[in-house]
Every structure is written in C-alpha cells, then in structure tokens.
C-alpha cells in the first residue's frame, strides 16, 4: 500500500517541480535515495517516468561521487559543525559546473550543532536558483523546527507507513469529532497538498476504513493498521458498519473526481463534511 515516495519525487523532478529543500526521514536507504534524486535532477537522458538513465556522464559521476555540482556534508566526528556549513556555503557561491542543479546532501542532519543549524537556516531562508538541499536523518526529533518548516518532509521505509497511518487516523478522528472547526482547519491544511499526495491520502483513508469495518465485524487482529487503530479513539467510535460502507463509497467517489480535475477545495469540503454528517 505505501509505495516508495521516490517514484513520485522523480516524476515531479522530471517536470521541473522541485522544492529547494527536502528532509528525508527514515531508517533505510536515505543516502541511496538522495543520490537517486540528485541523478534525476541532473541526468542527461531521463526516461519518461523521470528515472535517471544511470549511464550518462552525469549519472556516472554521481554514482562514483565525483560530480562537481553535488556536495555532500557528513558529521565531523560526533557532530556537524558550523565551520562545515561555512565551507559548504563557499561552494554555493560557485557557478554550476556541468549539471542542471547544484545538490547539497547533508547526511545525519540531526547531528548539526545549534550554531551549525542556525547558519544553515540562514542559507535555507534565501533559496538560490537551481540549488536543492537534501537533509537526511533517521528522525526529526533533534532537528530544530525552524529548519523542518523550511523543508518538504519525505518519509521512507517503515517510518513512511507508520507516519502515513498515524496521520490518517488523526484525520478521521478530526472528522468524526463533533468539532466543526477541527474539520474546517483540516480541509484548509489538505487543500495545500498537491493532487498526487491527496490521492495517496484518500487511498490511505480507504485502507483505514476497511480495517475498521473488519474490526467491527470480526475482531480480526491481523489488520494492516491494527496496532495503531486499537490505540485510537476510532475503534470505539459509534459509527456503524453501514455508515462505514457509505464513507468508503464517498472516499472512492472523491478519488475518481480528483482524477477528473475537480476543484480541490470543493471536493475536500464535500468529502469531509459528508463523512462528518454520516458519522454523527
């Protein structure tokens, strides 16, 4: 169910939809994925899906760590220090040598010292053209909020599944609650997500509703999201089996409407206010 986010990222990169800072979070393959994005941004022979060819001179140099426009920063000992950030900043002043994008990869970005983080923040606050930062960390816990808020967060591996699941549970809790304000601010927040993410989100909500249906009817304990679900208020909600089926149908309908270029705001209002009405 939870696909690797790299596919979507590469497709977007191929269309030139690139943000200036990403934060890759999770426990697996972060460096490999960062290199893949750097390749997709600089490959000279991208295929239709936005995949780097892997063999052009740019891909070759990135794979071998010798591309002059890709700059990697690693902790020096136990931390990443302000001097290192300053060194990197010097590199930013150079023109792009041969790539399309300058890519700065910060491995273990959670090991930035406070001074280092402040210095990085100043750099992130003034986005430079054709320059992309990719911060990597197992967890965002040690990264200052000010930096997190400048980055698009991408979750990998188990982290991705868990993160999505918990977010989706939170969404349903907001919608099932009696509080209209919570639902309205949720709609406002989701409206800012792009269509591909919304589709994934709606898909995730459908999985969750299916799990709830099974839980209601069989008490089955082998569900995809079971451990998270049983810790949430959803399991105890009074929404009936028939109501859950209606909600599932409504989600499916919205998924199709999203494909046919419906107005996002209207669609989200219609979807979540309908679910709210069904669940009350």
Strand order in the sheet with 102-106: 70-73, 102-106, 131-137, 21-25, 152-155
Distance of closest approach, residue 58 Cβ to Zn ion, in angstroms = 5
Q: 47 or 233: whose CB is closer to Zn ion?
A: 47
Q: 60 or 252: whose CB is closer to Zn ion?
A: 60
Dihedral (CA of 243, 245, 246, 250) sign: positive
20 CB contacts (<8 Å, ≥6 apart)?
Answer: 124, 127, 128, 131, 132, 133
Distance of closest approach, residue 44 Cβ to Zn ion, in angstroms = 5
Q: 59 or 104: whose CB is closer to Zn ion?
A: 59
Distance of closest approach, residue 42 Cβ to Zn ion, in angstroms = 8
Binding positions for Zn ion, rule: CB under 5 A = 43, 52-53, 56, 59
d(CA 26, CA 138): 5
Q: 43 or 202: whose CB is closer to Zn ion?
A: 43
Q: 90 or 97: whose CB is closer to Zn ion?
A: 97
Distance of closest approach, residue 257 Cβ to Zn ion, in angstroms = 37
Distance of closest approach, residue 62 Cβ to Zn ion, in angstroms = 8
Distance of closest approach, residue 53 Cβ to Zn ion, in angstroms = 4
234 closest CA partner among 164, 172, 166, 168: 172
Q: 100 or 216: whose CB is closer to Zn ion?
A: 100
Distance of closest approach, residue 99 Cβ to Zn ion, in angstroms = 11
Q: 53 or 138: whose CB is closer to Zn ion?
A: 53
How many angstroms separate the most distant Cα atoms in the chain?
63
Report how far Cα 198 is from the mean position of its chain's Cα atoms. 12
d(CA 187, CA 125): 28
d(CA 61, CA 57): 6
Asked whether 247 and 276 are in contact (CB, 8 A), the reply is no
The single-letter DSSP state of residue 3 is -
d(CA 80, CA 143): 12
d(CA 137, CA 262): 37
């Amino acid at each position: 169910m939870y696909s690797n986010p790299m596919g979507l990222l590469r497709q977007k990169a191929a269309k030139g939809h690139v943000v200036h800072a990403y934060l890759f979070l999770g426990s697996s393959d972060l460096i490999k994925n960062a290199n893949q994005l750097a390749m997709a941004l600089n490959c000279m022979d991208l295929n239709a899906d936005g995949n780097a060819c892997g063999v052009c001179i740019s891909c070759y140099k990135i794979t071998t760590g010798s591309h002059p426009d890709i700059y990697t920063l690693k902790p020096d000992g136990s931390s990443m220090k302000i001097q290192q950030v300053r060194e990197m900043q010097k590199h930013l002043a150079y023109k792009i040598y041969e790539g399309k994008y300058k890519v700065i990869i910060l491995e273990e970005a959670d090991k930035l010292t406070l001074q280092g983080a402040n210095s990085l923040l100043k750099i992130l606050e003034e986005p430079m053209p054709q320059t992309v930062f990719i911060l990597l960390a197992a967890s965002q816990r040690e990264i200052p909020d000010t930096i997190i808020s400048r980055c698009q967060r991408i979750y990998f591996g188990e982290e991705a599944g868990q993160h999505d699941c918990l977010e989706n549970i939170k969404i349903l809790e907001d919608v099932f609650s009696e509080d209209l304000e919570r639902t309205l601010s949720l709609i406002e927040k989701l409206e800012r997500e792009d269509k591909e993410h919304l589709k994934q989100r709606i898909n995730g909500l459908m999985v969750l509703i299916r799990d709830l249906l099974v839980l209601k009817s069989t008490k089955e304990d082998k569900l995809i999201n079971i451990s998270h679900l049983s810790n949430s208020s959803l399991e105890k909600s009074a929404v009936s089996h028939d109501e859950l089926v209606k909600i599932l149908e409504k989600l499916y309908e919205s998924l199709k409407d999203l494909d046919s270029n419906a107005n996002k705001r209207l669609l989200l209002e219609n979807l979540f206010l309908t679910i709210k009405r069904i669940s009350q």
